[in-house]
Amino acid sequence: MENVIQKYLRNEFETIEAYNLQAGELAEPYRFLVIADFPTNFNEESIRRLSSIINSGPKCGVYTLMVCDESQKLPEKISARDLASNGVHLVYRNGHFVWQNKTLKKFPLDPDGPPSEELLTDLVCKVGTASIDSARVEVPFETIAPAKNDRWSEDSTFGIKIPIGRAGAKRLQYLQLGKGVNQHMLIAGKTGSGKSTLFHVIVTNSALWYSPDEVELYLIDFKQGVEFKTYAVHKLPHARAVAIESDREFGLSILQRLDAEMAVRGEKFRQARVQDVPSYRQSTGEKMPRTILIIDEFHILFTEDDRIAHEAATLLEKLVRQGRAFGIHVILGSQSLAGTSGISRSIMGQMAVRIALQCSEMDSQIILNEDNVVARLLSRAGEAIYNDAGGMVVGNNPFQVAWLPKIAQDDQLSNIHKFSKERVLRHEPMIVFEGNIPADISNNAVLAELMRNPFTNAEPAKQPPRAWLGEPVTIKEPTAVIWHRQNGANLLIIGQQDFAMAGVLSSALLSLLVQLSPQVSKFIILDESPASSPIGAKLKRIDCQFANRCRFARANEIADVVSELATEVKRRLENGSHDNSETQFLLISGLQRFRMLYRKDDDWSFRPDEEKVSIDRQLADILCGGPSIGIHTIIGADTFNTVEKVVDRQTLREFNNRVLFQMSASDSSNLIDSPVANQLGPQRALFYDAEQGILEKFRFYAPPDERFLKEWGSTNAKH
């Protein structure tokens, strides 16, 4: 009753009926208190509370049905007549119920008998079925979205004000950031509380009310889901970065990017001699968009006690402390804040705006205040408390989050995309990180440009080609091997995932074929993969698109191929001048299947020069001497054990470039002096550059699909 009075009536409505007439979908349900055998187990205090409910309840929609046992005495100073004074009072006399009201007493009362068992069962089933959705409350998104003529009509100079739901019968609830201390927001709600819907409402409605030069968005989702993918699919013009199932490294790189943005804006402010966004816009006449960073399940950033967690905590604290002056606002969300160690008290203190959805008492105390546990009483999805007073009870504003179904959201986002195309807006390309799938090589802008103008590298000794492998889990250029003519310029790829191996090998081969002119390059491929493996088929399919520039050696040709390359290495080394010689690549796929390459037992013994050199020794000569004279080797192997059977520890050092998929901690340590490859998840790999001392986690490219290859084929035909 107290909740209804404070939450709904608020001196605006006399009764709950008056509120419900205007509340629409937010109408408050009526409640009935049913008591049998009164006053059994009632004491004086509980009867006084009951009396208060009977007298004040109807105003709040609370009604009492009570059967009183007259054989039991009531406590002193309490009268049954007083309890019944504000209601209908019936007394059972001589087999009949009798009205205890002078007016009604004139009329006979003949109640219906109880329903039959069949009817009762049928009624209960129907009521139960109907009650499933009875607690569901939906505020249509259209009630808070702008009309078509009002799209992009808001100005963010002095802050952001976005309607996100309904608060009571007449008022809308607004999210306001950028005024006073209300700069950043914290959201908490358990699974099923409507937190994802709230995020979608915030993002979609901000994109409807504000143009991209008024508001820009960075969206990071750390949980196992694809909530934010729709903004990438619909190319939301406001979104600068969208991360789905993000890695912690990518989250950190977003924080680093925003830290750099603060520095850029700070320099602009210094030149304009102003201190904040409103002053800058008024002084220069230039627009500077408000930046909103949204991180769902932000605590994932701090799950490990490592460099990433420490740097992220430092940057996040800097953003929430200094971001207000630069128009940068942070919204953090989590299912539960209990046990979250990454968010410090100083960060919490800066999050003046809090939204609590259904959550536990402990979470209510954390997100709001120690004495503010009202969130534990929230009973339905989307019901929330908006608090812009740092969590204090006085700041509680109950509201219902607007309901935005997927179909309606897709329509709105499609309209925004069309609207932006009509305006011919120019903005930076969106950065998309989809952690749940491999990277797509067609998104490599540099490679795409090369494919439009292929075979431009006619001097690989002066212009080292690149082999692109995938997309890093941070905001930077695609992961690539640069083939300088120097010792160690070979590539070793180790892992037992055929799909991943096919992706890295085929992407590397495609990259090199596109760049290098046929007149200055040669490719030799050793592949004995089974028909069920995607590796061999994909390599051959790529070669078909390049007029069969690759030589695929048969099993009976392998010894001759290795011997020819070893002879060429020796010739070039003896010749001394090799800058103008063609670049050659030896690609060995599935090293474990080439037992003839395994080291022989007599490799350690002295051999006269005239003795024929074994094939494994010839391969070692190619690995050691080839890179500096333009002959490079790419090897794909299943395990470190296989590699050890082919090359010794000394020769292993000739692989300055290494790619590791998930493997045992010991294999990882043997290859890169760290067990971290053991912790790699799906679609992930590590790139190790021994010369630069770089260890980079990346998402490997999926093997180029048929559509991509056909598009390249049609372009290649013109050349």
pLDDT digits (tens, 9 = 90+) for 403-421: 999 999 999 999 999 988 8
Average pLDDT over residues 4-31: 78
Residue 259: per-residue pLDDT: 96
* Statement: residue 660 has pLDDT above 90: yes
Q: Taking a C-beta distance cutoff of 8 angstroms, is the pair 340, 334 a contact?
A: yes
711 three-class SS: helix
> pTM of the prediction?
0.80
288 three-class SS: coil
Residue 6: per-residue pLDDT: 67
* Statement: residue 606 has pLDDT above 50: no
**Tokens describing residue 73:** 């005495």
Average pLDDT over residues 574-585: 82
Which tens digit of pLDDT belongs to each residue from 425-447? 667 788 988 888 899 999 999 99
**Tokens describing residue 661:** 């998929």
Question: For the chain, what is the largest distance between any 2 Cα atoms, rounded to a whole number of angstroms?
Answer: 131
- pLDDT tier at 717 (50, 70, 90 boundaries)? low
Picking from 523, 578, 580, 583, the residue whose alpha carbon sits closest to that of residue 553 is 523
Dist CA 23 CA 359 (whole Å): 25
Average pLDDT over residues 213-222: 94
Whole-number percent of the chain with pLDDT over 90: 56
DSSP character at residue 662: S
Average pLDDT over residues 436-462: 89
Strand 139-140 vs strand 396-403: parallel, antiparallel, or unpaired?
parallel
Q: Looking up tokens 């001196």, which residue turns up? A: 11
**Helices in 273-381 by DSSP H: which ranges?**
277-284, 307-322, 345-350, 361-367
Q: Taking a C-beta distance cutoff of 8 angstroms, is the pair 670, 676 a contact?
A: no
For helices 406-423 and 195-209, the axis angle rounded to 10 degrees is 20
Residue 584: per-residue pLDDT: 95
Give the angle 58-64-65 at the CA atoms, nearest 5°: 145
Which of 49-53, 80-84, 312-316, 360-364 has the lowest average pLDDT?
Answer: 80-84
Which of 239-253, 350-364, 592-606, 650-664 has the lowest average pLDDT?
Answer: 592-606
What does residue 240 show for φ and ψ, rounded to 5 degrees? -90, -30
Dist CA 284 CA 275 (whole Å): 13
CA–CA distances in Å: residue 351 to residues 27, 376, 443 = 32, 20, 37
| DSSP per residue, 407-431 | HHHHHHHHHHHHHHHHHT---PPPE
Average pLDDT over residues 632-652: 95
- What H or E segment, with its residue span, contains residue 584? strand 583-589
* Statement: residue 235 has pLDDT above 80: yes
Residue 328: per-residue pLDDT: 97
Picking from 565, 672, 558, the residue whose alpha carbon sits closest to that of residue 618 is 565
- What H or E segment, with its residue span, contains residue 270? helix 248-272
Dist CA 545 CA 537 (whole Å): 13
Average pLDDT over residues 129-156: 88
**Tokens describing residue 553:** 């050696």
Residue 716: per-residue pLDDT: 60
Which of 210-219, 456-465, 666-675 has the lowest average pLDDT?
Answer: 456-465
The residue type found at 643 is V
Dist CA 19 CA 364 (whole Å): 28
Picking from 640, 712, 698, the residue whose alpha carbon sits closest to that of residue 247 is 698
Which of 31-40, 85-94, 202-211, 387-396 has the lowest average pLDDT?
Answer: 85-94
Which of 157-166, 259-268, 401-410, 455-464 has the lowest average pLDDT?
Answer: 455-464
Dist CA 515 CA 438 (whole Å): 23
Average pLDDT over residues 148-176: 92
Q: Taking a C-beta distance cutoff of 8 angstroms, is the pair 100, 86 a contact?
A: no
* Statement: residue 714 has pLDDT above 70: no
291 three-class SS: strand
- How much is the mean pLDDT over the chain? 88
Q: Taking a C-beta distance cutoff of 8 angstroms, is the pair 359, 367 a contact?
A: yes
Residue 605: per-residue pLDDT: 45
Residue 610: per-residue pLDDT: 44
Give the angle 488-494-497 at the CA atoms, nearest 5°: 150
Residue 360: per-residue pLDDT: 85
The residue type found at 660 is L
* Statement: residue 719 has pLDDT above 60: no
Whole-number percent of the chain with pLDDT over 70: 95
Which tens digit of pLDDT belongs to each residue from 503-562? 999 999 999 999 998 999 999 999 988 888 899 999 999 998 888 899 999 888 999 999
Dist CA 310 CA 183 (whole Å): 23
21 three-class SS: helix
- What H or E segment, with its residue span, contains residue 31? strand 31-38
